[in-house]
Amino acid sequence: MKETSTNNAIDLRGTLCPMNWVKTKLILEEMEEGELLEVIIDEGEPMRNVPRSAKNEGHKIVKVETLEDNSCKLTIKRGVD
Amino acid sequence: MDNLSPNQQSWSGFTEEQLQRYSRHIILKQVGGKGQRKLLQTRALLIGAGGLGSPVALYLAAAGVGTLGIVDYDHVDLSNLQRQILHHTDDVGRPKVVSASETIKAINPDVNVIQHSVRLDSGNARELMNQYDMVIDGSDNFPTRYLVNDAAFLTKKPLVHGGILLFEGMTTVFIPGKGCYRCLHPVPPPPGAIPSCQEAGVLGVITGIIGSIQAAEAIKLALGIGEPLSGRLIYFDALDMTFREVKFRRNPKCPLCGDNPTINELVDYDYFCGVPSSE
């Protein structure tokens, strides 16, 4: 298992559900187990859905930060397939 | 993959339009981007663009199965439209492969439709099947059904089988080496023993139900997910609204896939069945 610093990041502000999760998922699929992905999503529905979808597929939310514009930066740790 | 912009043109090989189109697949844990790519790379051969072939073609096209070969040499007849939802009133008189191809392209331009406007026979069946990953049988007569079964086994292609009549239908999947149609019925019935849809009639929607199950099985095979409907037959009766499952195994005495096979070459049954192989 490889742990790296966050070298994967994506800004999905303005991308609606479920496309924000679709895009996040595609990036996670190409990462290796244990790698970290930073995703910035809007508050509200995206914040309710994206973390839940990520957890349902075996990934881990390791950090949630609220940014100045009230959007959220999630740090997701890639789980096992 | 640093700081990808949400407006970038390609997402893991998908265009923005494909992401939207296939988003409900990609979200599925068992499919994802990897599965959707597999579907786009799948080559499926559909025998018949009729009652069963219609829902199969429509759902496989919508699902993004990348290459759909369609074998049919028939033309659209007004009496087809009660169940053959690939074709429209304006298509009456046109070749079914052409009409089918247009409908499929209108649903999903990603799909490469290959029109085989030929009558499937012992001379071309193997060569056709060799170009594809799987075969889906939407034929409506015994000569073709046996030919498709034999050719799929001999070319080692999984075969998604379906049949309908009256208010009933049946479907199963034949994985080479795990049983075939001849394990159940070694030889075709005598001519006239079983009426055709033309003689006996069929409730149009039955083709939608059985064909949709066939499409689901084809997609599962392409993705390699779930349990294929192999070694099991599903019988459906719309009047009772019941599904019955019957298990079966490879028959060691099967003339095609048994321990001592007697059929090593394809047989054209048309000569003695006396049934035209078309729909």
User: What is the CATH classification number for the domain harbouring B159?
Assistant: 3.40.50.720
Say which CATH number the domain at A26 has. Answer: 3.30.110.40
- Candidates B128, B104, B103; CA nearest to B116 is B128
Residue A1 belongs to a domain: no
A 47-76 residues with CB below 8 A of B?
53, 56-57
State the residue range of the domain holding B60.
42-273
Residue A52 · residue A25 · CB < 8 Å? no
Range B33-58 average pLDDT? 98
DSSP E strands, B77-207: 112-116, 134-137, 159-165, 168-174
Would you name the residues of A annotated as active-site residues? 17
Residue B87 lies in a domain: yes
Phi, psi of B59 (to 5 degrees): -75, -35
Domain that holds residue A60: 8-77
Whether A17 is in a domain gets the answer yes
Q: Chain B within 8 Å of A18 (Cβ-Cβ)?
A: yes
Q: What is the pTM for the complete model shown?
A: 0.92
**pLDDT value, residue B42:** 98
Closest-CA residue of chain A to B27: A22
Q: How many domains does chain B have?
A: 1
Q: B15: which 2 tokens?
A: 């265009």
Give the tens place of pLDDT for each residue, B218-248: 999 999 999 999 999 999 999 999 999 999 9
Query: Could you tell me which chain A residue has the CA closest to the CA of B4?
Result: A10
> By 3-state DSSP, what share of chain A in percent is helix, strand and coil, each rounded to 5?
30, 30, 45
Residue B80 lies in a domain: yes
Give me the interface pTM, i.e. the ipTM.
0.89
Of A15, A18, A29, the CB nearest to B32: A29
How far apart CA B273 and CA B279 sit, in angstroms, is: 16
Cα dist from B177 to A35, A77, B183, whole Å? 42, 43, 11
